[in-house]
C-alpha cells in the first residue's frame, strides 16, 4: 500500500512530465526565424552571376522623375558593367572586381508614384538580365538625401 505522500509525489511528477512534454512541443510547428529567408531592406535584390544587387529601389516625389538607389557588389575577378534600364532611360556603372558600390542615378521618367512598383531591368554582359519590380519610395526620412551622384561611392 502506498502512503498519501508517495501518491501525491507520483501525481506531481506525472504532472511535471506532462507539462514538460506539452511545453517542449510548442516549437515543433513554428519554424526558427533564422531559417526563413527574407529581404531585410526596403528594396529588392537581383543576382547576375558574380554581381549581386541589393536594396534596389526608386526614390521619387511622384512628379515624374526619380533616383535609382542600390548597393552593388562584384564578387568576380573582372570588372563588370551593370546597367539599370527603366522606361525613363538607362544608367550603366562599372563595378571593379571584388568591390562594392552604392549607385544613385537619376531617371528622367518615373511613371509610378510612391507606394507603386516600377519595372527595372538589371543587366551585365556576363550575367544576362533580370527584370525586377522595385518599390517607389518618397524622398522622406533616410531617403530624403538620396540624389543622383556623378560617380558611385565605393564601400571597399
Specify the pLDDT at position 51.
Answer: 97
The alpha carbon of 26 is separated from its chain's Cα centroid by a whole number of angstroms, namely 30
Alpha carbon distance 44, 61 (integer Å): 19
As a whole number of angstroms, the distance between CA 13 and CA 50 comes to: 59
Per-residue pLDDT reduced to its tens digit, 76-113 = 999 999 999 998 789 999 999 999 999 999 988 888 89
Q: Where along the chain do its domains lie?
A: 4-35, 44-144
Q: Give tens-digit pLDDT for 52-69.
A: 999 999 999 988 889 999
For the chain, give the mean pLDDT.
84
Instruction: Write down the CATH number for the domain with range 44-144.
Output: 2.60.40.150
Amino acid at each position: 500500500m502506498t502512503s498519501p505522500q508517495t501518491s501525491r509525489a507520483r501525481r506531481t511528477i506525472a504532472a511535471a512530465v506532462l507539462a514538460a512534454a506539452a511545453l517542449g512541443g510548442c516549437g515543433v510547428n513554428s519554424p526558427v526565424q533564422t531559417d526563413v529567408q527574407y529581404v531585410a531592406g526596403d528594396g529588392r535584390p537581383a543576382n547576375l552571376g558574380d554581381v549581386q544587387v541589393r536594396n534596389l529601389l526608386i526614390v521619387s516625389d511622384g512628379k515624374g522623375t526619380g533616383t535609382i538607389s542600390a548597393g552593388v557588389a562584384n564578387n568576380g575577378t573582372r570588372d563588370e558593367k551593370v546597367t539599370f534600364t527603366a522606361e525613363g532611360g538607362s544608367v550603366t556603372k562599372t563595378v571593379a572586381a571584388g568591390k562594392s558600390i552604392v549607385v544613385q542615378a537619376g531617371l528622367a521618367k518615373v511613371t509610378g508614384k510612391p507606394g507603386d512598383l516600377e519595372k527595372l531591368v538589371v543587366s551585365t554582359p556576363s550575367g544576362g538580365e533580370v527584370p525586377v519590380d522595385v518599390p517607389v519610395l518618397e524622398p522622406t526620412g533616410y531617403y530624403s538625401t538620396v540624389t543622383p551622384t556623378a560617380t558611385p561611392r565605393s564601400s571597399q
